[in-house]
Structure 1
Amino acid sequence: MKLRSSIRRIDSPAGRMKILILRPEKQEGPVPGILWLHGGGYVTGMASMVYITAGSTLAKHFGTVLIAPEYRRALRNPYPAALEDCYAALEYLYSHADELGVDRNRIVVGGESAGGGLAAAVCLLARDEGEIPVSFQLPLYPMLDCDDTESSRHSHSHGWGTRRNHWAWRKYLGDLYGTDEVPPYASPAKETNYAGLPPCYTFVEDEEPFLTETVAYIQNLKDAGVEAHMDIYHGNIHGFDTMRWTKNAKEARRKLLKAAEKYLKL
């Protein structure tokens, strides 16, 4: 399905924030809405990355409306700036659902890497605020745990490894880094109550740094009675699905679309 894009500026805690909107060229009736959050370790990246990631694939395949916010990044604005902006984008998607032609009962939050971490954090915040129902979450190979894990402690994965991971968390958390005061909204792996969160699907490679925290997140959701599934592929490339010509990427996109069909199919 062909999409048309537009740029808007919406209110956010820091003032006016740019968002990228993708919509079907021929939109009939309310369609699902996707909030897609870009990666970049919380410190880099931009909303237009959605064109090379799974976000645009989902929007094209299912004919959804997608919003990608240009959230503040940690080089200048540490936590909670990014989360505040992403939640403001979710509020905009929900409150402007009629104008955008979005079904309020089919809102999905997703993202890749740090965007996956922010997606999980947004879902936590939405659950706790109790104002916006999120029907499905797609935190792909998410950056969830500010502490070293078995897979991130000595990682030399292509695209992202231990040194970059430490540097990014230090920038994002600021004075909270290395303390016992990091809240789950900053590092969702710190959460202890996963009940009431939306159903979840994700994928990850088995030799990349975020394997352990991804597996733990899915297991914690399952233990809390939340429907959650994941696929693990063999490889050590962080962000492998953006290499669309590879076998792993093709298989990951196929399984992603199948997992999302229940929540996004018109």
Structure 2
Amino acid sequence: MTLPRGTVVHPELAPFVDKLPPFSDPYADIAATRERFRALLAATPADRSGVESRRHEVVRPDGSALTVEVYRPEGTGGGRGAALPAVLHFHGGGYAIGRALPGQDKTAIELCRELPAVTVAVEYRLAPEHRYPAGVEDCYLALEWTARHAAELGIDPERIAVTGNSAGGGLSAAVALMARDRGGPALAYQSLCVPDVDDRVAEEPVPADADDAPDPRTNSLRTIRLAWRHYLPEGAVADAYAAAARATDLSGLPPAYVLVCDLDPLRDPGLAYARRLMDAGVQVTVRNVPGAWHGFELYAPETRLAKETTAHRTGHLRAALYPAGSASGSSGSAAAGPVRS
């Protein structure tokens, strides 16, 4: 693996470096890329124990349908028990892939079980067929739908959060801005994991020196450049709802969790966004994963580093949605223990 001078891979992750697949342009044949992703998901089905789900069609302004899948702990529907918090999950995948199979959104299932919470997986429109603002408007529409149907979904409307990885993190940040600017629905928290919040990182020159160039198999500047090129309309300049870092005012946003990885080109933009949130008076927790690349958990899910990273993210989300003194309904997992920043 070729990494910039002075870069150190975390010892736990070193054995997985040579298992990284070779780089290929996912947009060269987007249909084939999505099919390979679906086949990979089908080969590793999710553990749905203790979780049930139902798919819903949300009508867009133009009459077309947005699909959302609502996951909930078994036995909590139909008005049974106290209202649960809700988490809207926006999947990653460069704004173009990453959609889970029906009933198989692993992140939504894990959050549903571990928090516990009602989780809403949003099947937003994908680029390049549907460029900005289609995807983010779908995500905001899903938030409005969730808040509007809080009573029948058994959701506490005061405890709704958004979360996502990579492009999903960027969409989460954008939806938080949209909710503030459009007068709601109010969000209790935004959990931004390796978020893609600034299109300007794609304008940075890619180092020509092989000793200084990041391994193309990781999330390189080239990959980020391709994602933004296919997400934004041709010739368009991103605004704050496309790239949250473009926003000039970050005040009045919900508390945030920002996770970044040491070897990820999205690290510095993510940290810069977290700092700007702090400067605007927003409560922010920041976690940097040392010696890790973008999406390392997919390749090394059983490592202690991956498990600790997931537990840290989940623990802070739980603490936000179950403030001190409230009943957490904790599953008793490692992620339910004391949270340390």
TM-score, normalised with respect to structure 1 = 0.91
Partner of 2:286: 230
Partner of 1:173: 232
Partner of 2:128: 75
Match of 1:6 among 51, 54, 60: 54
Partner of 1:107: 160
Q: CA deviation at 1:81?
A: 0.2
Give the Cα separation in 2 of the matches to 1:150 and 1:235. Answer: 25
Alignment of 1:50-61 (within 5 A): 51-53=105-107, 55-61=108-114
Q: CA deviation at 1:125?
A: 0.3
Partner of 2:14: none
Q: CA deviation at 1:130?
A: 1.1
1:44 aligned partner, one-letter code: I
Give the Cα separation in 2 of the matches to 1:3 and 1:97. Answer: 19
Of 63-72 and 229-238, more deviation after overlay is shown by 229-238
Give the Cα separation in 1 of the matches to 2:290 and 2:147. Answer: 38
Partner of 1:207: 263
Q: CA deviation at 1:193?
A: 0.7
1:254 aligned partner, one-letter code: A
Give the Cα separation in 2 of the matches to 1:48 and 1:34. Answer: 19
Give the secondary-structure state (helix, strand or coil) at the position aligned to 2:86: strand
2:106 aligned partner, one-letter code: I
Matched, 1:164 2:218: no
**Are 2:159 and 2:187, in contact at CA under 8 Å, matched by a contact in 1?**
yes
Give the Cα separation in 2 of the matches to 1:6 and 1:166. Answer: 36
1:72–1:11 Cα change, 3 Å? same
State the percentage of identical aligned residues: 36
Of 62-71 and 119-128, more deviation after overlay is shown by 62-71
Partner of 1:18: 67
Matched, 1:254 2:295: no
1:59–1:197 Cα change, 3 Å? same
Cα root mean square deviation, aligned: 2.1
Matched, 1:96 2:124: no
1:128 aligned partner, one-letter code: D
Which of the pair has more CA radius of gyration? 2
Of 152-161 and 188-197, more deviation after overlay is shown by 152-161
2:51 aligned partner, one-letter code: L
Partner of 1:185: 241
Q: CA deviation at 1:232?
A: 0.7
Partner of 1:218: 274
Of 201-210 and 222-231, more deviation after overlay is shown by 201-210
Of 153-162 and 139-148, more deviation after overlay is shown by 153-162
**Are 1:94 and 1:132, in contact at CA under 8 Å, matched by a contact in 2?**
yes
Q: Deviations over 1:50-75 (max 9, x none)?
A: 7333x432221122111111110111
Give the Cα separation in 2 of the matches to 1:137 and 1:9. Answer: 24
2:316 aligned partner, one-letter code: A
Give the Cα separation in 2 of the matches to 1:107 and 1:252. Answer: 22
Match of 1:263 among 320, 324, 339: 320
Alignment coverage as a number of residue pairs: 262
1:166 aligned partner, one-letter code: R
Q: CA deviation at 1:152?
A: 8.8
Q: CA deviation at 1:149?
A: 7.0
Q: CA deviation at 1:136?
A: 0.2
Give the secondary-structure state (helix, strand or coil) at the position aligned to 2:105: helix
Matched, 1:33 2:81: no
1:10 aligned partner, one-letter code: V
TM-score, normalised with respect to structure 2 = 0.72
Q: Deviations over 1:75-111 (max 9, x none)?
A: 1010000011001100111000001000000000111
**Are 1:6 and 1:20, in contact at CA under 8 Å, matched by a contact in 2?**
yes
Partner of 2:295: 239
Can you give the 5+ residue segments of structure 2 that lack an aligned partner in the other structure? 1-48, 208-213, 323-327, 329-341
Q: Deviations over 1:28-54 (max 9, x none)?
A: 22100111000011111214497333x
**Are 1:33 and 1:103, in contact at CA under 8 Å, matched by a contact in 2?**
yes
Q: Which has more strand, going by share of residues?
A: 1
